[in-house]
Amino acid sequence: MIKIEKKYLSFNELKDKWKATSDDVHYLIQDASLTPAIAWNGYVRNCQWEPNENGKSYLTLTGDPKFSFPGWLYLRLPTAAGNCNYKFSYGTKTPYENYDHFKTDVWFKFLDGVDEVASAFIDREYIEKNAVFMEDVVDNTEVFELGMIETKEDLIIDNQSSINAYNTDLLTLLNLTVMNFFNPRHEKDAKKEEVTDWIKAKGKELNIYVSDNVADSIFTIIKPNDHNPKIKRVERQK
């Protein structure tokens, strides 16, 4: 019998793997924690990030004409349309791994084929029928959103058997955070804000994109059961 190892899961396969409801999966997609990919065979326009007067960036169409794009695209920037309901109108060629990559990756706007600017929206129903979830995307979501880690001992950075079996940039960052704050434990536990700010700063230093949600998730996973930044550990043991 031939054993087929797929590098991606369909929507229903992912539901079965996580034993989750459709709304559970859609919530993670709407929250931008889970990135779907689609095989798009329609019109797109190239986009680029432009700074505005406030120092922030926004996506704008380039001067390139529309063209047909047959291939895989990762869906980006979900627009909420209600509880666990959303739509996408942008995609990229690759899943970004850090902030700089997020800005410089090739971006496309989906077109409905009528004219040069009308958007084609990818909605919840389309994703259930046509989207897939790549292996790396699923692995990262399992670790940082669903907390699928057996024991905290698996997080120790010098646990070579664990690293050889599974590792990502974000897991490396998680391990570094454990070593910096909780292994060994300090006399006084760091506050959540101190830990998450360090995670984001360290991520930027290592060229790893870290959102607020990811930083919060890392802290939730590694926080000791008796975490208490208000009391020194010596006082707790009296």
pLDDT given for residue 59 in this prediction: 85
| Distinct helix (H) and strand (E) counts, the chain | 10, 10
Over residues 117-123, the mean pLDDT reads: 90
The whole-angstrom separation of Cα 20 and Cα 14 is: 8
Binned at pLDDT 50, 70 and 90, residue 235 comes out as low
pLDDT for 66 beyond 50: yes
Question: So where are the chain's domains?
Answer: 8-143, 149-236
The whole-angstrom separation of Cα 170 and Cα 156 is: 14
pLDDT for 86 beyond 90: yes
> Nearest Cα to 131, choosing from 2, 4, 9, 219?
9
The whole-angstrom separation of Cα 179 and Cα 213 is: 21
Two structure tokens written together for 175: 């391990």
Query: In this predicted model, which residue has the larger pLDDT, 78 or 165?
Result: 78
pLDDT for 30 beyond 80: yes
Averaged pLDDT of the chain: 81
pLDDT for 160 beyond 50: no
Query: In this predicted model, which residue has the larger pLDDT, 55 or 81?
Result: 81
pLDDT for 83 beyond 70: yes
pLDDT given for residue 101 in this prediction: 61
Confirm whether pTM is higher than 0.75. no
Portion of the chain with pLDDT greater than 70, in percent? 82
3-class secondary-structure state, position 159: coil
pLDDT for 220 beyond 80: yes
Binned at pLDDT 50, 70 and 90, residue 100 comes out as low
pLDDT for 216 beyond 70: yes
Over residues 32-47, the mean pLDDT reads: 91
pLDDT given for residue 110 in this prediction: 94
Q: What backbone torsions phi and psi does residue 47 show, to the nearest 5 degrees? A: -130, 160
pLDDT for 53 beyond 80: no
pLDDT given for residue 161 in this prediction: 39
The whole-angstrom separation of Cα 213 and Cα 228 is: 22
Do 107 and 48 contact (CB within 8 A), yes or no?
yes
pLDDT for 147 beyond 90: no
